[in-house]
Amino acid sequence: MKIVDDLHKEFNGFFKVWTGFEPIVFISKPEAAEVIFKSSTNIDRSFDYKFLIPWLGTGLLTSTGEKQKKAFLDLLLGMAEESSKPFTTADIREEVDTFMFAGHDSSSSATAYAVFLLGCHPEIQEKVFQELYSVFGSSDRFPTKADISQLTYLECVTRESLRLYPVVPVIGRILVEDTELDGYLVPAGTTIDINISAIHRNANHFPEPNKFNPDNFSPENRAKRHPFAFVPFSAGVRNCIGRKFASDEEMILLSTLFRKYKVESLQKPEELQVEPDLVMRPKNGIKVRISRRLYPSD
């Protein structure tokens, strides 16, 4: 099968629906395809959603027989029926919209930046592949929760990508009390912008702040750092509710892609344009060349 057919099979169904991560193939050769990955809000409703039920409804990562979890929509519908102050259909819709908005472009952009950075750093990509091979061998089975917990280096890669490209670059808060900030008294009621991008590139916490170095997230280095030096999902009571879900989907997507394919970025980091917005997307997607991997045993 041509690589382009494989990619479409892999991404245009499951991954596109799930994360909005969509490959647009512009050059296709037998051995490699050149592809732009873009965030897609164009969700394919014809896709067979049965595939997603285990994830959303029961937690695909649990083995059969374990306690089943309720899906988010089931919980909302349950609240509408049971609560003394029931949720209206409009309330439910609003919650679903928030989740769709907050959970779609954020995850697909985070994944795109990780693919891009691995495509710029073949030596780090090779380490990722070696880790994947040690867990999966040449199997192309779907990852389980146990598999993902073993992918500690890939997890460092996802964190380091979010450090360099925090897809929510700025968050805002309104001060509820007078607060002293760096010797200045800032009155209650002031809106404060928290610049996550700047926090993540502070050389006091990350010695070479502009270098892609997944070892920044080794257990030893994490233990030495201030807990708020890395806050891609914000912190405190209003932090990202989808954090675990986002991390799982990114790990599944990257582990599937890099197990089977080699990726080469066709842009340098300084050429990549980002769109500054609520979610910082790659402006024109990321451009990569993808070729099939030969397993060491082949």
Residue 156 known to bind ligand: no
- Residue among 3 and 168 whose Cβ is closer to ligand HEM: 168
156 touches 217 (CB < 8 A): yes
By beta carbon distance, the residue nearest ligand HEM is 242
Element (H, E) at 96: helix 89-103
Residues from 206 through 245 that contact ligand HEM (CB under 6 A): 232-234, 238-242, 245
In this structure, the strands spanning 184-186 and 274-275 are unpaired
Q: Compute the least distance from the CB of residue 9 to ligand HEM, in Å.
A: 24
* Size of site (CB under 6 A) for ligand HEM: 20
28 touches 3 (CB < 8 A): yes
**Nearest of 97, 117, 154, 125 to residue 37 by alpha carbon:** 117
Residues from 85 through 124 that contact ligand HEM (CB under 6 A): 98-99, 102-103, 106-107, 110
- Residue among 2 and 173 whose Cβ is closer to ligand HEM: 173
Q: How far is CA 208 from CA 117, 203, 215, 235, in A?
A: 16, 6, 12, 24
37 binds ligand HEM (CB under 6 A): no
Q: Is 85 exposed, middle or buried (0-12, 13-18, 19+ CB in 10 A)?
A: exposed
Binding-site residue numbers are: 240
Binding site for ligand HEM (CB under 6 A): 98-99, 102-103, 106-107, 110, 167-168, 171, 232-234, 238-242, 245-246
Binding-site residue numbers for heme are: 240
